[in-house]
Structure 1
Amino acid sequence: MNLSPRCLLVCLFLSVPTLAGATAPKSAPRSAAGGPRAEHYSRRCQSQSAQRIARPQGTMLWGTRRSWDSEKATDERNSVVVSVDLEPLRQADVGVKALRFAGGHLVAHPAPDAGAVTSGVVGTVLQGTASDGKSVEVAICGAEPSAEDPGMVFYRIEAWNAVAQEWENPCVAVDRVPDPRALAVSGVWDSSGAHANAPGKLTFACENGAITKCILWGYKPWASRDGRSLADLHQSCTRLARADYCGNGRNHTHEDTTIDIYDRFGLLERATETSREWDPSKASFEAAWAPDGATCLSRTRDGRAMETILRECPERFQPAAGVALGAGEHCTVRRADVEPATALLRNLSYGAPKGSSSAASAP
C-alpha cells in the first residue's frame, strides 16, 4: 500500500537533501530523459523549510518560554504569553482599531484601502497576558505566508521582557527551528491544556509547540472536512503530541520522539511501509485520544510505569485488560466515562528503552 504524502510528513522525521554541491560526475550521462542529471534537476524548487523536515512531537504546548527568569524553576504549564487581546491595540497604523481572524491569518480592522494581507497588521502592538495573570505587550514584527498554504501566515513576534527591560522573541528555539515564528490561533489554552473559545482573544502559538505542530500536521482548527470542524481533532492532537494522558497539561514524552498519528476520518493514515526513518514492525500501539486526553492506553511513551499514570489521575483510568480497538490494537487501562473506540486519534510509537522512567521537561 502506498503512503499518502500527508502521512509521510506526520509520522516520519524526513531529511531533505540540499541543493548545494549537488552536481553530477563529469562522466555521467546528460540524458534529458533520465539519469543523474534528471534526478539532480528533480530537486529544484522544493521547499527546504523546517515544516517539511521536522515532524517529531515534543514537550511544549505553546512553544513559549515558561518565564523571563531563566534561573527560576517554573512549572511546564506556565508561559510568558498565554493570550493576546485583539482590541484595543496598544500601537497600530493610523485608522486601525483592532485585528480580526480570517482563517489562518489576521487582518486589520477597519481594513486598509489597499495592500497585502499583512497591511495594517505588521507593526501592531497588542495587549497580552502571561500565565501568572500579569500583562505583557506583544509586537507583530513580521509576517510570512506559508508556502504550502498562502492563507496561513507565520508571524515574527516579540514580547516585552519586564525583567531584562527589552523586547524578545518569546518562542523557544530548538536545533531544528532556531528562529521560531508563531501562528495566530483563535481562543486560549489554560494551564491544563484545555482550549476555550474566548471572543476577542487569540493565542500566538510558536513553531516548536504542539498547537502549531498539530496545525502543520493537517489539523487546522479553523478548517473543516466533509462538513465537520477540525477543532476537536486539533485539540486531541495537542494532547497526543505531548502524551498528556491525564488531560492535566503534563507531558510524558521527550523532545523529538518520532511517532505515527492517524485518525478515523482519513486525514492522516497509519503508516504501513518501512523507510529509513520509520519501521512499523518495531512500533506498537500506545494510546487513543480525545480532546481532553487519552481514552485508553497500552503503555507510556517515555517508559515510566503505568502505575505512575494511575496515581497522577486516579479518578480517570481503570485497568481494562485486553480492550480491543481493532487492527490488533489493545488497551491495558481505559477511562470509565468514555468508550475507547470513539477516540478521534490514535498513535503508534517505538516506546522508551526498558528501565527509562525519567519525566520529560520543556526548556
Structure 2
Amino acid sequence: MKNPLLLLVCLLAGAPALASAPQRKHPQPQELAPKSRQASMPTSLTGNRQRVPPCQGQTLQRSVWPQGALLWGTRRKEIAEETSSVLSSVAMSGVQLGGTALKGVRIEDGRLVASSVEPEGLVGAVFQGTASDGQSVEVALCGADPTTKNQPMTWYHIEFWNAQSGAWENPCVATTRVPTPRALAVPGIWDEAGARHEVPEKFTFACESGVIAKCTQWGYRPWAKKNGRSLADLHQACTRMARADYCGDGRSHTRENNLIDMYDSLEVITRTTEASQSWAPERASFEAAWAPDGAWCLARTREGQAVEKILEQCPDRFEVGVEDLGGGDRCTVRRKSGHAGSALLRNRSYSKGEQLLQESTP
C-alpha cells in the first residue's frame, strides 16, 4: 500500500468513502418508520418482558462524551472509564437466525460466514456479546456492506439490546462525520488495557470510530499476511500508536483530529514525503516507535505533554537514553529492556504548536 496521499490519518475522522457505493440492507435515516408504525410492529418475548425486535430502524443515538481515541469505537458503559464499553466481545456460538441455531460461524477474510448460510443470509442473526464489565448483551446483525475487491471485508450495521433504555440501539459512537457508524468483524478480543487476546469462538465488532477498525481499514488486516508474515502484530502496534498509548496500559494521550503519518517495517504503509493541502512533511517530526504492547521508544508526546510525565506514569518501562532508528528518527527515551527490532511501526506528527497552526490555517 504505497500511496502517500492516503496515509495521512485524522485520528477521529470517519472512514474514507468506498470506491463504489455499497448496497445498503438497512433503513436510511429518512426511511425510518414513523413512531406509530414502529409501535404497531410485532413484538418478541424475552422472559416476562415484551420488546420490539431488532433492525426496525431505531432512533439514532448520539453520544456527548469526549471522543478521544476510542479503542472499540463503542459507547462507554461507565462514562468516567476510558476503556469501558457496552460491547467488547462477541461469541461465535449461540447465534440465532429466525429461531434456528447457526453452526460453524467464523470469520474469513474480514467477513462472517456460517456453514449452512450464505454470507449475505446472516443479516437478521442475533449474537451473544459481552460488555467490558462482563455483563451479557444481545447483538443483532442488521445489514452488511461488502467493500471493494482490493480490501475484501464487510462492514456490518449492528444493534445491541440496551436493558436500561429498553430498546435496540447502535452501540457505535456516532459523530458528525459518521452519523450512522458501522462495524467490522475482527478476530481476537481486547481487554481494558488495550491488549489483544486470541480466544476460541470469540471476536470483536469494531466500530468505525475506534482504532481497531481504523487500523484494519488503513491496511493492517490482522488476518492477512505480507511476505509470509502475519499482520496481526502490526495491527496491534497500530492500535497503540493511534491512541498514543505510550505505556501500553490502555491510557491514550491524544485527542480528536490529531494528524499523524505512519510507516512500518514491512512497508505495508510507507512514509509520506510529498506535501498536500492537509499535510506538510517538513513541519512534522518523529514522535515514537511502536510495538504491540505500546511505545518502544519516543522522542516527544503528541499533545505536548512532557516526556517526564510518561516516565512517571510507567516508571518500570522506560529510561532516558538515545536510540537512533535511522532515517532521521531518533528517540530520547527508550525501553529498559529489549532491542529496537521490537519496534514494528513508527509515526510522525505535528508538535503542539504546529498542530495549532494547522487548525488555524484556512
- The TM tier, using the shorter chain, reads 0.7 to 0.9
Alignment deviations for residues 313-356 of structure 1 (CA, whole Å, 9 cap, x no partner) = 11101111x321111111111101122354100000002239x9
The answer as to 2:169 corresponding to 1:173 is: no
| CA deviation after TM superposition for structure 1 residue 90, in Å | 4.3
Mark the CA change 1:134 to 1:94 in structure 2 (over 3 Å): closer, same or farther: closer
Mark the CA change 1:149 to 1:304 in structure 2 (over 3 Å): closer, same or farther: same
What pairs with 1:225-304 in structure 2 (closer than 5 Å)? 225-304=226-305
Match of 2:346 in 1: 346
Match of 1:142 in 2: 143
Mark the CA change 1:186 to 1:92 in structure 2 (over 3 Å): closer, same or farther: farther
Q: Identify the range of structure 1 (169-178 vs 287-296) with the bigger mean alpha-carbon deviation.
A: 169-178
Q: Identify the range of structure 1 (239-248 vs 262-271) with the bigger mean alpha-carbon deviation.
A: 262-271
Structure-1 separation of matches of 2:307 and 2:76 = 28
| CA deviation after TM superposition for structure 1 residue 47, in Å | 4.6
The two structures have a TM-score, normalised by structure 1, of 0.79
Structure-2 separation of matches of 1:209 and 1:92 = 31
Structure-2 separation of matches of 1:300 and 1:142 = 40
What are structure 1's unaligned runs of at least 5 residues? 16-44, 50-56, 357-363
8 Å CA contact 1:93–1:124 kept in 2: the answer is no
What pairs with 1:132-211 in structure 2 (closer than 5 Å)? 132-149=133-150, 151-211=152-212
1:81 aligns to what SS in structure 2? coil
Match of 2:6 in 1: 9
Alignment deviations for residues 264-296 of structure 1 (CA, whole Å, 9 cap, x no partner) = 211111111111111110000000000000000
Structure-2 separation of matches of 1:228 and 1:287 = 23
Structure-1 separation of matches of 2:162 and 2:99 = 23
Structure-1 separation of matches of 2:214 and 2:204 = 14
8 Å CA contact 1:12–1:278 kept in 2: the answer is no
Alignment deviations for residues 89-140 of structure 1 (CA, whole Å, 9 cap, x no partner) = 244464633521112101123x23xx5x322x11111111101111111110
Structure-1 separation of matches of 2:102 and 2:305 = 52
The two structures have a TM-score, normalised by structure 2, of 0.79
Match of 1:19 in 2: none
Mark the CA change 1:46 to 1:265 in structure 2 (over 3 Å): closer, same or farther: closer
1:65 aligns to what SS in structure 2? coil
Structure-2 separation of matches of 1:251 and 1:48 = 34
Q: How many residues align?
A: 306
Structure-1 separation of matches of 2:224 and 2:134 = 30
8 Å CA contact 2:259–2:349 kept in 1: the answer is yes
Match of 1:323 in 2: 323
Alignment deviations for residues 114-169 of structure 1 (CA, whole Å, 9 cap, x no partner) = x5x322x1111111110111111111001110135463011100001111010000
Match of 1:104 in 2: 110
Structure-2 separation of matches of 1:73 and 1:135 = 19
Match of 1:336 in 2: 336
What are structure 2's unaligned runs of at least 5 residues? 23-66, 357-362
From 73, 77, 80, the counterpart of 2:79: 73
Mark the CA change 1:73 to 1:206 in structure 2 (over 3 Å): closer, same or farther: closer
Mark the CA change 1:205 to 1:266 in structure 2 (over 3 Å): closer, same or farther: same
Identity rate, percent: 53
Structure-2 separation of matches of 1:340 and 1:139 = 44
8 Å CA contact 2:94–2:102 kept in 1: the answer is no
